[in-house]
Chain A
Amino acid sequence: MTTAFMLSDLPEFFLHFLTLSLLSIGGAMSTAPEMHRLLVHDRGWLTDADFTTAIALAQAAPGPNVLFVPVLGFQVAGLLGAAAAFVGILLPSTLLSLGVSRWGSRRRDTPGVRAFTAGLAPVTVGLMFSSGWVLALPFVREPAHRVGGIVLIAATVVAMLRTRVAPIWLIALGAVAGALGWA
């Protein structure tokens, strides 16, 4: 059961996303539980299934995962909802990032900023491997797609390290291989 969204709800809806923007360290996905609380639990504008679909779609589609936010907005209140949610989630964090980035590049040679760059580099490399691992896991787990998936992953790694091919061609190849049932 869902409750209808009224135009008078729009300020509250917009404000909620504005606040979440500054809490979204590590990406918008980390605030998904908070969005679920408002949209599904407290106000009943969406069902659980709607919510899950929005996240699955944004993860499957090209582009950054933050796109699940406008999809949620779209499900709640059409294009107006999509615009309110998306501007809300991006505006505060965007202004903050721009400010911090400019501040940091003016002080690039101070010990504090140099330590930041040096200290965070191994953590960031670790996170890249983590994302790769998490994305690869479904293929390792599922026996039906294991061989094709692993071959495709390994071929991609080799192509990226040994050639200068643009990633779009590899993605297209992956789509064709998958559609033919090889992955």
Chain B
Amino acid sequence: MLALQGFGGVLAVAQRELVDRRGWLTREEFIAAYSLAQLLPGPNVVNLSLMLGDRFFGWRGAFAAIAGMLFAPLVLVLVLAASYNRLSDYPVVAGALRGMGAVAAGLMLAMGFKMLGTLRRNPMGLVLCALLGLATLVAVAVLRVPLAWVVIGFGVFAWGLARWCIARQERQS
């Protein structure tokens, strides 16, 4: 069910269900799982559902989660592929797709705003977090650097930086 609601924003739906509505995960846990899912090869949402399925229900849960995430959309997209040429002529269909696209954009932005709160307790401090977040935004959205380079480059840098900050805090306390 989570999957069909996705529409380019599966992630936002997963966050809403698992964190806001059911409370299975905190925002911090969600963002940690998603960071890892993003860094590993494979589709982010698939990796994420796999990890969460595994965490709560073991490997059977993991495979149930990806099957659930993929099966209905797969059938739908294959049906669409088979009938694409006929459907694309209707302006109503194009309009509906456009409307859903706008909502998908809103869902993604809203999730970004929600996750901002998790950075308050980050050991790197707010200023460094803001700089890292903004640099990522500029690299991906403005400069259009390929996602893989951003995730690996900024990821390794941020990991080193966070290690240094955590070590410094532990020396002080």
Contacts and interface: CB of A to CB of B under 8 A. Distances in A.
Contacts of B95: 178-181, 183
Interface centre among B32, B50, B92, B148 (most CB of A within 10 A): B32
**Chain B contact residues: over half helix, strand or loop, or mixed?**
helix
**Size range of the interface on B?**
35 or more
Given A28-B43, A127-B38, A118 B162 contact: yes
Interface string A83-94: 000100010111
Interface in B20-46: 20-21, 28, 31-46
Contacts of A149: 98, 102
Contacts of A153: 102-103, 105-106, 109
A170 interface: yes
A127 B115 CA distance: 11
Nearest to B162: A119
A35 interface: no
A160 B158 contact: no
Category for how many chain A residues contact B: 35 or more
Nearest to B109: A132
Given A71-B78, A94-B46, A177-B99, A170 B146 contact: no
A109 B37 CA distance: 19
Contacts of B28: 117, 121
A60 interface: yes
8 contacts: A26-B151, A62-B73, A94-B46, A118-B124, A121-B118, A127-B147, A132-B111, A136-B105
Interface of A: 21-28, 30, 53-54, 57-67, 70-71, 74-75, 79, 82, 86, 90, 92-94, 96-98, 100-102, 104-105, 111-112, 114-136, 138-139, 145, 148-149, 152-157, 160-161, 164, 166-168, 170-171, 173-183
Given A119-B155, A136-B102, A153-B109, 7 more contacts: A24-B43, A70-B74, A101-B51, A120-B159, A152-B103, A175-B99, A178-B100
